[in-house]
Structure 1
Amino acid sequence: LLAKANRGYLYIDEVNLLEDHLVDLLLDVAQSGENVIEREGLSIRHDARFVLVGSGNPEEGELRPQLLDRFGLSVEVRSPNDIEERVEVIRRRAAFDTNPDAFVDKWAIEDSKIRDTILTARDALKTIDAPDDTLRDCAGLCVAIGSDGLRGELTLLRAARALAAYKSSPVVTRDHLRSVASMALSHRLRRDPLDDAGSSTRVDRTVEEVFA
């Protein structure tokens, strides 16, 4: 699997329930970009550089911090509370079940627009400017939430630059940082037993305090 995932994506369902020896293997490979297989006189090395994608229910078990830190971004998936939004989900799902081909055709133009925007943003990414004030904002946010190491700042900046490119903005602004801060930093928060607010809420609150 690691060989097949090289230069691609490795998706792990219920990543927080992986056995310890598999977590150790992933950590080693993620660090080195190479997988080493040695058993019964067999010794093989192969490249294993991939984008790691995982999903899981935090209530069923926590992910080891060393592995969690390897994920650049994280998102919390929740059911929508807005009635009209839920109705729209039902409507679209029913339309797909009734006639999948017609549904795909209906949204093909919209999908193409998004794809073209992504491709344009990818080409423009190297031209996006991140001034020193933006770098200080990144560092200030990570210090405020207690993020260990520098992966928080680096991921936050990369995500903000990608968003700026997608929005056709020539420079990274605080608005871009605000938009991606929760995804880049919520899983890097230090635990606070006296604060029962969700991680995303705590990050949003910290952003407003730092940027005040």
Structure 2
Amino acid sequence: MSFSPPFKLVEEEKKIENNLKKLEKEFEEYKAKHIVTVTEFRKALKIKADTKKTSKEVGARKRHKAYTRHIPERIDFIKELILSRCPDCKKKLKGKTTIRHRYVTDIKLISSPTRYDIHRYYCTSCKKIVEQEVPNALPHARFGLGIVLLVMYLLLGLRMPEKKVCEYFKNLYSLHISEGEIVCILRQLAVNMAGCQPENTI
């Protein structure tokens, strides 16, 4: 004798199965949309996935060739550093043990104005007044070649604006140069490099 469930129970069971399938489908769609949203959000903010951090060893790499600065070929000054007393206990020292050499290269951050007293003479052969040329300076220039070449490098090599070049000389060398003088320096340099003299010079 077979037993068949009531019609209402069968109908309710099918209804529950359909709802369950519908919920599973909606859940899969939601999950897929959620993953895409997170991925797009990470791309927009350029967020990288979490990676395992590894600490690097301190020091040079293995088989890495060491580098040391070479001793300068030209030594301009030699200064003796002599002690008569210990810098810690102030006790008088009797004799030195060894001499250690240390090389320090530095630059002078100071401007040095120079006045040239130019002696002028009359040449009886050329029938004109002659004088010796001022060294390390362009004709009629107020600044030496060191400043002129540095201005050219800052403007053309490093692409610094004229205002920043003026601030550079003021802050490092206590030298006041206006933007107009910067333009004049470049003009003098260009004219002299071209092998001709400017009509109006400072």
Q: Report if TM-score (shorter chain) is over 0.5.
A: no
Question: Higher helix fraction: Structure 1 or Structure 2?
Answer: 1
Give the structure, 1 or 2, with the largest relative contact order (CA under 8 Å, sep 6 or more): 1
Shorter-chain TM-score tier: under 0.3
Question: Higher strand fraction: Structure 1 or Structure 2?
Answer: 1
Q: TM-score, normalised by structure 2?
A: 0.19
Q: TM-score, normalised by structure 1?
A: 0.18
